[in-house]
Amino acid sequence: MAHWPDLASRSRELYERGLKVLPGGITRTLPWQEPFPVYASYGEGAYVVDVDGTRRLDLLNNFASLIHGHAHPGVVQAVRHQVGNGTAFTLPTEQEVALAETLCGRAESFEQVRFCNSGSEAVMSAIKAARAITGRSKIVKAEGVYHGAYDYAEVSLDSSPSNWGEDPNSIGYSKGVPKGVTDDVVVIPFNDVEASERIIRANAADIAAVLLDAAPSYLGFIQVSPRFTDMIERVTREIGALFILDEVISFRSHTGGAQTLLGIHPDLTTLGKIIGGGFPVGAVAGRRELMQIYDHRQGKPGLPWSGTFTANPVTMTAGKVTLDLLDDSAIDRMAQLTSRLVGALNQAFARSGFPGQVTGFGSSFMVFGHQRQVTDYRSGYSSPEETKRVVALQRALTLAGFHIARTGKAFLSTPMTEADIESFISAVSRIVDARLEPVGAGVVS
C-alpha cells in the first residue's frame, strides 16, 4: 500500500482532484507541504489517521482548537444528541446562555459575551466595538503578531527588514490593501515599553483600541512582560482608548485564560478555538458597560452584530462540554509535558549541533531555525535558510509519524501521554542526530 508522499498514494489522488476545483488544490494553506499535503481520514484522541492508513501523533490539533484531541467521547455524545434535535435555529437557545454563563465564570473581566463564528470575526467585532464606543478610527497592534484575517488586524504581520522601518511601519499583508487601512493602524514593537508608549501617545487622540496577544504564536509564544501590559493598561485609560486582549489561542493556558494567569486587565477579550469544542466559534467578552454597544433594546445598537450560524446549539453544546472537562489539573499537566518537551528538544539540538531552539508558553510551543534570543518580531525573524531548517524538520517528522506546522508551531492536547511526548522527543533527536553538519536546505531531501 502506498503512503505519503508516494505518487500512488490516496493523498496524491485527492490532491489531483482538488487542483481541478480548488485554487492550489486546497482550501487552507496551513497544511500545505511539498509535494502535496497529507489528507486526513479520521482522528482518535491524540492521533490522526490519514487516507492511506498512516497514524500520526497530532501536535497541531486543528491549530490549537482541539484541546481534548479528536472525537472526545463526552463531546461526541453531547453533539450527537443535539444534532438529533436540530443544528441551527433562528431562535435563541438555552445552549448559548449556558456557554456564556460558563465563560463569564472563568475570568474577572468577562461580564457579558457576544458570540460569532471564528477568532478572526471576534477580533473584527472587538475592533468595530472599540470604534463605536470611542468614536475614533485607529487601532494599535504589535509588529509581526497574528490576529486573524481582518485586514486591519493583518497589518505588519510579515513585514521584513526591507520595509519595516526604524519605528515599525504599517505594511499591508495582502495585495490591494487600501492606504486607508494602513493609515488607521499604528504598529508598535512587542515588549518595548518606552518605544511603544511614545508611539501610542503620538497618536493618542485618534486611537480607539490597543490590540495585544499575551503570548503571540508568530513570536514563538514569547510571554508579554508585566511592564508592557502595565503600560498598555495605564496608557489606554489615560487616552480614553480600549485595551483588547486576543486570547483566541492563549485562553488554553489557564481556566481563566492568560489574563488570569498573568494578572492582565483588558477591557474586551477575543476568544475562539477551544471554546467551540471542535466547531466554528468566536466570541467577544468584556465588562457589562462596554458590551452594551451590542444591545438592541433601545433601537439600533451602536454595533449591530449577528450571523446565520452564530451561537448555533451544536457549537454551544460542544464548547460547554469541552470547557467543563478542562480543569486546572488538565491544564497543569499539559503545561508540565510542554515544559519537559521544550527542555528536551533544546538539549537535543545542542547535543547534535542543530542550529535551532524551541520556545513555548502553556501547552503551545514553536521551533525556530536559529538560536537568537526571541523578545519580539525582529529578534525572532527567520532568514530563508533558517526557515528551511524548520520546514525540513517538519517534513522529517511527518515521515516519522508526527504532525507539527511548517512554521514550527505545535500544541498539546489532554489525551497526550508521557509516552507520546517521549516518542516525539526521541523522533526529533534521531532526526537532528542524523545530520551533524549545518542544515541549510533541510534535514532530509
Question: What is the number of residues in the chain?
Answer: 445
Residue 410: what are its φ and ψ, rounded to 5°?
-160, 160
Q: Cβ-count burial of 25 within 10 angstroms (0-12 exposed, 13-18 middle, 19+ buried)?
A: middle
* DSSP output for 121-135: HHHHHHHHHHHHHH-
161-185 as b/e: b if 16+ CB within 10 A = eeebeebbebbbbeeebeeebbebb
Q: Three-state SS across 27-63? A: CCCCCCCCCCCCCEEEEEECEEEECCCCEEEECCHHH
Q: Which amino acid is at 168?
A: P
Rounded to whole angstroms, the Cα distance separating 391 from 445 reads 11
- In angstroms, what is the C-alpha Rg of the chain? 22
**DSSP 8-state class, residue 66:** -
Residue 358 pairs in a beta bridge with: 367
List active site positions. 146, 246, 273
CB 365 within 8 A of CB 378: no
CA-CA-CA-CA dihedral for 440, 156, 115, 46, to nearest 10: 10
Query: CB-based contacts of 293: which residues, under 8 Å, 6+ apart?
Result: 129, 132, 133, 301, 302, 303
SS3 104: helix
- Give the C-alpha distances (Å, rounded to integers) separating 348 from 77, 139, 331, 368: 41, 42, 26, 14
- Going by C-alpha positions, the residue among 359, 402, 409 that lies closest to residue 387 is 409
Distances in whole angstroms, Cα of residue 356 to Cα of each of 47, 234, 345: 26, 37, 10
Contact 333, 317 (CB under 8 A): no
The closest alpha carbon to 193, from 160, 154, 226, belongs to 226
- How far apart are alpha carbons 186 and 204 in whole angstroms? 10
CA distance 50 to 145: 32
